[in-house]
Structure 1
Amino acid sequence: MKLIKTFAIMLSTVALLSSSTCSDIVEQQGPIIGKPDVKVENGQFTPELLNSLGRVSGPTVSPDGRKILYGVTYQDIEQNKGNRELWVMDVDGQNATQITKTPSSENNAVWIEGGRRIAFVYKEGDVTQMWVMNADGSGRKCVTALENGVDGFVLSPDEKHVVLISQVKYGKNAQDHHPDLKKANARIIDDLMYKHWDEWVETIPHPFVADFDGSQVTNVKDVLEGEPFESPMKPWGDVESLAWTPDSKSLIYVCRKKVGKEYAISTNSDLFRYELATGKTENLTEGMMGYDTYPIVSKSGRLAWLSMEHDGYEADKNRIFLMDTNGEKKDLTANWDYSVDAIVWSPDEQFIYFICPFQGTQPIFRMEVATQKVDTIASGTFDYDGLAFAGPDTLVTMRHNYAMPNEVFSVKAGEQPKQLSHVNDDLLAQLDSITIERRLVRTTDGKDMVTWVVLPPHFDPAKKYPAILFCEGGPQSPVSQFWSYRWNFRIMAANGYVVIAPNRRGLPGFGTEWNAQISGDYGGQNMKDYMSAVDDMKREPYIDGDHIGAVGASYGGYSVYWLAGNHENRFACFLAHAGIFNLEAQYLETEEMWFVNWDLGGPFWEKNATTMKSYTVANPKNYVQNWNRPIMVTAGEKDYRIVFTQATQAFNAAKLMGLDARMVLFPEENHWILKPQNSILWQREFFGWLDRWLKPQAAPATEGSAPADSVK
């Protein structure tokens, strides 16, 4: 309690009313970004075309089940930014109509008033607020005026209340410590979690409850007023962290009520129920020690959510938990050995539909709540994304794979999924097609490993092709049928490469044992799995075994650095983005201490079996003396998760070893490369480097074997 009071004086709640409210008329703030006019030449997929595709997101079904609202984002390469507009189509995919055309993005769009109007958030000037408009896009009206804006919102079932996400000040700045030094800009820090992913933590999100009459939001109240806790949780928390009870009298929110060091070492979040009338707050998941997230409440008041068991283990199995109206809790997935990503109640409450990684894809499943029987609703060589009902048994979702980005689909048990949106059909139809193959590779410990192989356009098995080993990040992220705007397998194949993408140890979708094996064993079985995949593919006559490269980001970048010193001449070159080169430095440079504590066994000064293994055998820097191939490193200077100095260390080591090396740093990017022109530059540098060393004109990598490692 003393800690809470101490921090309360450091928090300044957002002012409820801004000194300058948003207008109801959208003023032109620069050129409108829309679908670019691009031409495909000779069927070739280029970085420019990759950044010209429409990015479909957020399909929402109208209350009567007849219309679908969704967003499409286009990038403007010249302006170096993107913009999201809203579209509406019939539930069968007909009559797709763009309903907004504005200089800023409309986000968090939902139907209100039975489908007659739409609520959304929109940024005008420097502040984002909540707006409403008619279902055809006319009659736009700003309904909030929060000084720090609105990041997102969830309306209550009766639409008389709304919970708004807005930022509040956190901690003290230089002027709070020294009011007379008006131009001082120092950071004065006394505890951990002072930075997170790509920001210095100066504000945190709070949920604000308010009244809503359809045209104005009033009586705004901070649910966590004076408390130093964030809800939703940084960095990924969003409106999925908030849910209303069916009577609209209570709000359920996700929060990890910890600060400083305790926050930095723990993943123990909880679900809290807040009563609007009294302000009473109850912890619904007291004693459940891992992440508790994603609450969904049925019409009868049954609460389901995603729950992890272990404190500090962010990649733990995500279980579906149920709390019945009598308060009894039950793990519905006790006999389901896979980690769940998204859930939704069926309209009749007999089922919970969910998406989870499974055998290298992300299908849609259905669980009967009474029996916990699981059926597959939609599968294939695809990933599904999002769950919304259109009627009693029809789902609206999105689907993608290595060949195509998200489009909206409808799914019904026992029927083939139907594509509803066709945002990118015209451009994709002009591209040379690729081939996606699923392959089982035998690992060194006798397991069958699902490995995706992507073959170039006009593939001829009688020819020789250079290959790329893709090393996944996470480390516990699935190598499913993802579509990426950086690690895009279609563009890799279009450039003449065979892509090898193994589901090595430490990935979800193959049971908890397979997923958990990597923790404390970074340089172990998963590295052998990589090499098994490469060795298996080298047996194919179409693989040019002298010209194989290894690439990856984050943990994948770590993998590249480790393989560079232990590859036994399997690879001709390497490329790492945002990778971990020095695990000792990583332990003290990163911010989410629960992650390195769990994965590495603790700090390097604690001498237990796991840490000794992590900081010696698994530490890439200990194998620099073995490096014997060209290496390129890239990083964003605003990456506070894996600090860009990891890249500079690796680059310096390579140059001092006399190797060909290249470093590309992005001052304004974080863990990802997001701005359109930087994205194109990254792709050009990526293929420029690989082409230099892997294309047929490059000399074979036939140097002598690397010296034996010196780590004991």
Structure 2
Amino acid sequence: MTNISKSNLIIKNRKFTAEALWSMGRINGYDLFDNKLLYTVSYYDIPKNGSSSHIIIKTLNSKEYTDLTSKMRDSNDQLTKNCAQSQTNAIFDKNGRGILFNSNGKLFEYYFDSEQVEQLSTGSLDISEFKISPDYSKCLFISSVEHSYKNEDYNDLPLTSGMIFEDLNYRHWDEFNTSLPHPFVSKLNNMKFEDHPFDILENEPYESPLKPFGGIEQLCWSKDSKKIAYTCKKKVGKEYATSTDSDIYVYDTETKTTINLCKDFEPKNYGFDSNPMYSPSGKKIAWVSMERDGYESDRSRLIIFDLGTKKKSFVSEWFESNVESFDWINDCQMVFTGVWHGLTHIYLIEINNDNELVNHEQITTGQYDYKSVKWFGNMLIVKRQSMIEADELYELDLKTKEIKQISFENDFIYTQIDKASVQPKWMKTVDNKDMLVWVIYPPHFDSTKKYPTLLYCQGGPQSAVSQFWSYRWNFLLMASEGYIIIAPNRRGLPGFGMEWLEEISLDYGGLCMKDLLTSVDIMKEESYVDSDRLGCVGASFGGYS
């Protein structure tokens, strides 16, 4: 693998370009130990046609940082040098003496004192993601098991790549289902694998996590390190392909027994259920739950299951949009992110001992999208983006609501460019309803001039047009080329209530299309919009639009 490091791009004429976009660092996972922040960031290189993931370590109150990956590349130890080529899922170990990470399908630890790595995993299984149990006695990890569709009637053609399918589900997006992700568990002795890992879903034709987008967030350890909650859709063939009904299962590593939290207890859950997380005491477990089977764009709600009383409580019914990232603060407080009126903010909820909602409040403000939240015992670390700024990490004080930036990956880009500006506009639709439209203006916008204008058509078709940063549909890049961009939250988008979300159903060429055209018609009345130079961009349902 080619070594790729952080770009030192020099930008000319203060113009944000495609080269600048691909020179930006893309922050992924993060962890905290005392006042040390760890995060992984991906760097890309166009001439080399590749990318590399780096581990960054810094103290919270300083801009200074250590690129641990680059340091490892310079090591005299060959194993340490080799591990620097690929690093993912990095976290601090129990005592902060080192860092656990995944490299080339194996689990390693880097020790700060020796500045060398040690391989912890054994055997032939490749590890894609992992979670260490709270008592550090076990490792839960994801590995693929073979699920072949080759027909045994053609054993005389051993070199053929052909496959015979007689049922669904044989393909996800761009890959055939020749393997299944399964959760494995191995005991640890001084952090090293002690025994042969066992497969929680051994001989079962199911996935956990779920393809194509699921990851380790769909599984979690219980606080006593004895049980594993995991997301699984235990269906095959056509039933798998036509259903969204996944469930939360709890597997006991000691008794080898499994219970289904969604179907074994009332009320039963029949929609898409995922992302379980135990409360700090271990007495409760929360996850996100959709109500209806077969409806991919149903509202995602936050549910709490009391492991003692077996009671289920939906605690986000007041929020008529989707619960996205969430975390426990304590057994009676939680935070989550969700989109409302084109902004994804963080909300704090308080519940009583019966898991009944007592209070809820929005605790962040501003024209941003908050994409993840993690509670580290005394502080909340969050990831934030907007249409003109990529992901960075922030520290949020729950008491004062103060927010402080703690990562600065892309300052070297921002200091060299002139940014676009973004304004919300509310417009009347053809049926006299209010629609939020984001308008993105070029740098140095001059209202006395005329500008070519693009209509952005969202895909999904039920995905929010919020303050998102995209490396595919990048509004800052479009605006920097001199375009005004119109980005409507047309019919069918979340964040405006269920009626607005579901008005697109069975009407894909109707009001949602009129909403798009309405936004252009209204903006054409502005003197600075050149009505002779109008275009549109979009993919998936956006391309259909």
The verdict on a shared fold, with TM-score over 0.5 as the criterion, is yes
| Residue of 71, 74, 77 corresponding to 2:46 | 77
| Residue of 12, 19, 24 corresponding to 1:41 | 12
| Equivalent position of 1:185 in the other structure | 161
Change (3 A) 1:484 1:362: same
Amino acid of the residue matched to residue 46 of structure 1?
T
CA distance in 2, matches of 1:150, 1:134: 20
Range 527-536 or range 97-106, more displaced:
97-106
CA RMSD between the two structures: 1.5
1:170 aligns with 2:140: no
1:265 aligns with 2:247: no
Amino acid of the residue matched to residue 201 of structure 1?
N
| Equivalent position of 1:289 in the other structure | 270
Residues 119-176 of structure 1, C-alpha deviation per residue, up to 9 Å, x if partnerless?
Answer: 11111xxxx11211225792212222343401101111101011110000113324x4
CA distance in 2, matches of 1:314, 1:191: 22
CA distance in 1, matches of 2:183, 2:250: 12
Q: Does structure 1 conserve the Cα–Cα contact (< 8 Å) formed by 2:183 and 2:199?
A: yes
| Equivalent position of 2:78 in the other structure | none
| Equivalent position of 1:368 in the other structure | 350
Q: Could you say what secondary structure the match of 2:544 adopts?
A: helix
Amino acid of the residue matched to residue 74 of structure 1?
Y
**Aligned-residue offset at 1:406:** 0.7
**Aligned-residue offset at 1:379:** 2.4
Q: Could you say what secondary structure the match of 2:143 adopts?
A: strand
Q: Could you say what secondary structure the match of 2:54 adopts?
A: strand
| Equivalent position of 2:24 in the other structure | 53
| Residue of 479, 486, 492 corresponding to 1:506 | 492
CA distance in 2, matches of 1:490, 1:384: 18
Q: Name structure 1 gaps, 5 residues minimum.
A: 1-28, 560-712
Residues 568-604 of structure 1, C-alpha deviation per residue, up to 9 Å, x if partnerless?
Answer: xxxxxxxxxxxxxxxxxxxxxxxxxxxxxxxxxxxxx
Amino acid of the residue matched to residue 121 of structure 2?
T
Q: Could you say what secondary structure the match of 1:237 adopts?
A: coil
1:118 aligns with 2:99: yes
CA distance in 2, matches of 1:137, 1:480: 46
Change (3 A) 1:211 1:366: same
| Equivalent position of 1:617 in the other structure | none
| Equivalent position of 1:308 in the other structure | 290
In the comparison of the two structures, how many residue pairs are matched?
Answer: 521
**Aligned-residue offset at 1:94:** 4.2
Amino acid of the residue matched to residue 169 of structure 2?
M
Q: Does structure 2 conserve the Cα–Cα contact (< 8 Å) formed by 1:33 and 1:75?
A: yes
Q: Does structure 2 conserve the Cα–Cα contact (< 8 Å) formed by 1:122 and 1:129?
A: yes
Q: Does structure 1 conserve the Cα–Cα contact (< 8 Å) formed by 2:30 and 2:91?
A: no
| Residue of 311, 315, 318 corresponding to 1:328 | 311
Moved over 4 A (4+): none
Structure in which a larger fraction of residues adopt helix: 1
Residues 353-412 of structure 1, C-alpha deviation per residue, up to 9 Å, x if partnerless?
Answer: 0001111011111111233422111121111122112443x3111111111111111112
Change (3 A) 1:45 1:313: same
CA distance in 1, matches of 2:248, 2:401: 37
| Equivalent position of 1:341 in the other structure | 324
Amino acid of the residue matched to residue 91 of structure 1?
L
1:389 aligns with 2:375: yes
Q: Could you say what secondary structure the match of 1:531 adopts?
A: helix
| Residue of 106, 109, 112 corresponding to 2:90 | 109
Q: Does structure 2 conserve the Cα–Cα contact (< 8 Å) formed by 1:61 and 1:388?
A: no
CA distance in 2, matches of 1:92, 1:398: 17
CA distance in 2, matches of 1:171, 1:105: 28
| Equivalent position of 1:520 in the other structure | 506
1:237 aligns with 2:222: no
Q: Does structure 1 conserve the Cα–Cα contact (< 8 Å) formed by 2:136 and 2:191?
A: no
1:225 aligns with 2:198: no
Q: Name structure 2 gaps, 5 residues minimum.
A: 74-83
CA distance in 2, matches of 1:299, 1:462: 58
| Equivalent position of 2:138 in the other structure | 161
| Residue of 196, 200, 207 corresponding to 2:183 | 207
Change (3 A) 1:354 1:135: farther
CA distance in 2, matches of 1:214, 1:396: 29
Rg bigger for which structure? 1
Residues 462-488 of structure 1, C-alpha deviation per residue, up to 9 Å, x if partnerless?
Answer: 000010000011111110111111210
Residues 236-280 of structure 1, C-alpha deviation per residue, up to 9 Å, x if partnerless?
Answer: 110111111111111111000001100000000001110111110
Q: Does structure 2 conserve the Cα–Cα contact (< 8 Å) formed by 1:250 and 1:275?
A: yes
Amino acid of the residue matched to residue 60 of structure 1?
D
| Residue of 370, 374, 383 corresponding to 1:398 | 383
Q: Does structure 2 conserve the Cα–Cα contact (< 8 Å) formed by 1:493 and 1:499?
A: yes
How much identity, in percent, do the aligned residues show? 39
Q: Does structure 2 conserve the Cα–Cα contact (< 8 Å) formed by 1:362 and 1:379?
A: no
CA distance in 1, matches of 2:258, 2:299: 28
Q: Could you say what secondary structure the match of 2:494 adopts?
A: coil
**Aligned-residue offset at 1:550:** 1.3
**Aligned-residue offset at 1:60:** 1.3
CA distance in 1, matches of 2:170, 2:287: 29
Amino acid of the residue matched to residue 326 of structure 2?
I
| Residue of 456, 464, 469 corresponding to 1:478 | 464
Change (3 A) 1:283 1:395: same
CA distance in 2, matches of 1:404, 1:547: 27
Q: Does structure 2 conserve the Cα–Cα contact (< 8 Å) formed by 1:332 and 1:372?
A: no
**Aligned-residue offset at 1:519:** 1.6
Q: Could you say what secondary structure the match of 2:496 adopts?
A: coil
| Equivalent position of 1:251 in the other structure | 228
Q: Could you say what secondary structure the match of 1:330 adopts?
A: strand
Q: Does structure 2 conserve the Cα–Cα contact (< 8 Å) formed by 1:304 and 1:320?
A: yes
Change (3 A) 1:514 1:114: farther
| Residue of 450, 457, 461 corresponding to 2:443 | 457
Amino acid of the residue matched to residue 80 of structure 1?
N
Amino acid of the residue matched to residue 182 of structure 1?
P
Q: Does structure 2 conserve the Cα–Cα contact (< 8 Å) formed by 1:160 and 1:213?
A: yes
CA distance in 2, matches of 1:107, 1:363: 27
Q: Could you say what secondary structure the match of 2:240 adopts?
A: helix
CA distance in 2, matches of 1:495, 1:198: 32
**Aligned-residue offset at 1:322:** 0.5
CA distance in 2, matches of 1:332, 1:136: 46
| Residue of 534, 537, 540 corresponding to 1:551 | 537
Q: TM-score, normalised by structure 1?
A: 0.71
Amino acid of the residue matched to residue 64 of structure 2?
N
Range 178-187 or range 190-199, more displaced:
178-187
Q: Could you say what secondary structure the match of 1:357 adopts?
A: strand
| Equivalent position of 2:394 in the other structure | 409
Structure 2 counterparts to residues 676-691 of structure 1, below 5 A: none
Structure 2 counterparts to residues 347-362 of structure 1, below 5 A: 348-362=330-344
CA distance in 2, matches of 1:92, 1:289: 46
CA distance in 2, matches of 1:230, 1:449: 40
Amino acid of the residue matched to residue 384 of structure 2?
R
CA distance in 1, matches of 2:358, 2:158: 62
Q: Does structure 1 conserve the Cα–Cα contact (< 8 Å) formed by 2:441 and 2:484?
A: yes
| Equivalent position of 2:76 in the other structure | none
CA distance in 2, matches of 1:137, 1:333: 48
| Equivalent position of 1:3 in the other structure | none
**Aligned-residue offset at 1:95:** 3.5
| Equivalent position of 1:279 in the other structure | 256
Q: Could you say what secondary structure the match of 1:458 adopts?
A: coil
